[in-house]
Structure 1
């Protein structure tokens, strides 16, 4: 069935694949009527009184877009009293985003997830959703997130491109978007009307087939279950692999464990390419192995999976953590040096957990980690 669905989608994508040209400078602003994170419908006409309109196509999941959230907010704050309207549109279809493309985010790009991001980062500018039909996105033609479009009082496009010259704030020396706004407010010609953009490509609906193919591959990955001794669990706590490891103790008879099991597997698929390892440890008895494996297969658990290899659960718990005296679920996140970054006795806050992971994963640029370090973590040895 998967292969049939994928083949049909691939054929549709091939037939419907088109270029998505960027709106030409001098063109009128395409109309829109889109839902925002505030629960309201926002229309182009709502901004008719503003001398300048700045439209930024951006999203949640892209690390480059994340670096610009506060810059968009600062732009809105700095020019609000001069009548400039600054708004953002999320252009991606969440169904076209592969789970491994979420390796720098705690959420994807749905409207509900946009609301989560706005609350987390205290963003106040209008943030609208076009992922359902992408009709507005196709009219404007953003090539990546972020992509800025700036319109004059007559709603003619006078600038499109990047916001500035570098996603690294400390390296910015050219304020392209601000220069365009300043020129329009002064009734001057915009000096630079177009710049190239840098960020994550727009996730068009034509890419849904790629997303579904990635899900099929995940479901085809082998699911294995190993028996674990006290020595194995003690070794697991020592983290000899020297990379970040998320360990989840659970059981088939634990309802809250089952409820959050898929969240752990999704988290693993999101970050495994950045060297996160997930180990699930079932606290079931050894003779319940068949039921444990059945659940793992149902959940497509391609992580490393262990099962208590002894009926002496107390010995096994103590081998991993001498302070652990309660039941499952029990979750712990260790860094490469065995430091406890997150620990939860009971159900996890999956967003807090993911933000802790992102704040501590190895990164090419420290700014990507710092973005997530505003979250509180439960850290201990």
Structure 2
């Protein structure tokens, strides 16, 4: 099970009544020529992935500092990760220190804003991301307090701030002008670095940026309040189903969606323990080509107890319970390869192919790393197919 790194739906519902509205006056980038502010932030070293504390003095030997505000969850930021690695490879030998800095408060990222990611923006998940993606640059975190990010004023992720040899702001803006490499016309960050390394002023020192907005902590208050109230009021239903229905669910012929099927029971401890993560998974991905189905492996007379549990979890996905007493026929119908132990989970793609099968508790990080690319296969994000 993934650790709880952002507020669960149940936590948001409990907190929503007393939360204030989000502030509208967000920080903005400082003027060109502004000195580099002092910072002291935890970070993950590129290559070794050791946790260290970084300050400007950590980069005293660098001719230039290229600070890139980025994060884990934003699909735009993800598209630039390989370009940041290449930027580090190309410009590190020239005396440029490339530094990634996460400005996002993890609690301010709603579940439904994470439909394109396997990880949250917490520092723990930053460690996982840095090693999984082989970052060769330090990855710093300011999400807990956001004190330094408020001084820099990044607008979106990614957002670049380049400081010259005197540690004055010489450029702020985008990395380049296209998320998809085949459409790039202007390499803005590289051009700025080249000019500064040549002893020149940056000819285009400011550009627009494009990406996910920075998730300031106060955003969690207003946005999560509205969203949690909406989800809390969604109807929760439980229907009876039999073997033929379960076969149709598994075959997934007509939905055109990725379908996650979880079989559980009220008396199954691991089922109950992981159920909040299943609810969160549904809320995260349901805005895409995704649907979740839960099946209570209970006799029909247990419907009232199962429904009470589902309502307590705000489980507004499709919920079924065995509509007859022939459990073994239902087990065979749900998954011929299943031995009957609970919980049991299947992920079926839009072609009816089982692409994930797990008897026992789910590793939700593993599951998300299967869900995200499978959804991108159905509907590519941002024209990833080149169209």
Fold match (TM-score > 0.5): yes
Q: Alpha-carbon deviations, 1:215-271, whole Å to 9, x = none?
A: 222222221111111121122122232321110111122222222212211111111
Equivalent in 108, 131, 148 of residue 160 of structure 2: 148
Aligned residues: 367
Q: Offset of 1:319 from its aligned partner?
A: 2.0
Secondary structure of 2:206's match? coil
Secondary structure of 1:92's match? coil
Match of 1:373 in 2: none
Match of 1:374 in 2: none
Equivalent in 14, 17, 33 of residue 40 of structure 2: 33
Q: Offset of 1:129 from its aligned partner?
A: 1.0
Determine the C-alpha separation between the residues in 1 that align with 2:316 and 2:302. Answer: 20
Task: Tell whether 2:229 aligns with 1:216.
Answer: yes
Alpha-carbon contact 1:246-1:333 (below 8 Å) kept: yes
Determine the C-alpha separation between the residues in 2 that align with 1:84 and 1:158. Answer: 14
Determine the C-alpha separation between the residues in 1 that align with 2:332 and 2:14. Answer: 49
Determine the C-alpha separation between the residues in 2 that align with 1:5 and 1:283. Answer: 33
Equivalent in 248, 258, 275 of residue 262 of structure 2: 248
Equivalent in 283, 286, 293 of residue 300 of structure 2: 286
Task: Tell whether 2:320 aligns with 1:310.
Answer: no
Distance 1:41 1:165, change over 3 A: same
Moved more, 356-365 or 104-113: 356-365
Determine the C-alpha separation between the residues in 2 that align with 1:90 and 1:49. Answer: 23
Determine the C-alpha separation between the residues in 1 that align with 2:383 and 2:100. Answer: 22
Q: Offset of 1:125 from its aligned partner?
A: 1.1
Determine the C-alpha separation between the residues in 1 that align with 2:65 and 2:14. Answer: 46
Match of 2:313 in 1: 299
Q: Alpha-carbon deviations, 1:312-358, whole Å to 9, x = none?
A: 21011112223323312211111222122212222222112112111
Match of 1:236 in 2: 249
Q: TM-score normalised to the size of structure 1?
A: 0.91
Secondary structure of 1:302's match? coil
Q: Alpha-carbon deviations, 1:262-296, whole Å to 9, x = none?
A: 22111111110102110001112222223222221
Determine the C-alpha separation between the residues in 2 that align with 1:263 and 1:2. Answer: 14
Alpha-carbon contact 1:147-1:197 (below 8 Å) kept: yes
Match of 1:103 in 2: 115
Match of 1:276 in 2: 290
Match of 1:320 in 2: 334
Q: Offset of 1:55 from its aligned partner?
A: 0.2
Distance 1:287 1:257, change over 3 A: same
Q: Alpha-carbon deviations, 1:52-97, whole Å to 9, x = none?
A: 0000000111100000111111111222222211111111111212
Determine the C-alpha separation between the residues in 1 that align with 2:379 and 2:36. Answer: 38
Distance 1:365 1:302, change over 3 A: closer
Alpha-carbon contact 1:360-1:369 (below 8 Å) kept: no
Instruction: Structure 2: state its 5+ residue gaps.
Output: 1-10, 45-49
Distance 1:144 1:345, change over 3 A: same
Match of 1:333 in 2: 347
Match of 1:375 in 2: none
Determine the C-alpha separation between the residues in 1 that align with 2:51 and 2:163. Answer: 25
TM-align CA RMSD: 2.2
Alpha-carbon contact 1:279-1:306 (below 8 Å) kept: yes
Which one has more relative contact order, counting CA pairs under 8 Å at least 6 apart?
2
Structure 2 counterparts to residues 105-184 of structure 1, below 5 A: 105-184=117-196
Determine the C-alpha separation between the residues in 2 that align with 1:120 and 1:231. Answer: 42
Distance 1:368 1:117, change over 3 A: farther
Equivalent in 26, 30, 36 of residue 23 of structure 1: 30
Determine the C-alpha separation between the residues in 2 that align with 1:212 and 1:221. Answer: 15
Q: Offset of 1:368 from its aligned partner?
A: 5.5
Q: Offset of 1:8 from its aligned partner?
A: 5.1
Determine the C-alpha separation between the residues in 1 that align with 2:17 and 2:67. Answer: 37
Alpha-carbon contact 1:98-1:211 (below 8 Å) kept: yes
Q: Offset of 1:182 from its aligned partner?
A: 1.4
Equivalent in 87, 95, 101 of residue 99 of structure 2: 87
Task: Tell whether 2:355 aligns with 1:355.
Answer: no
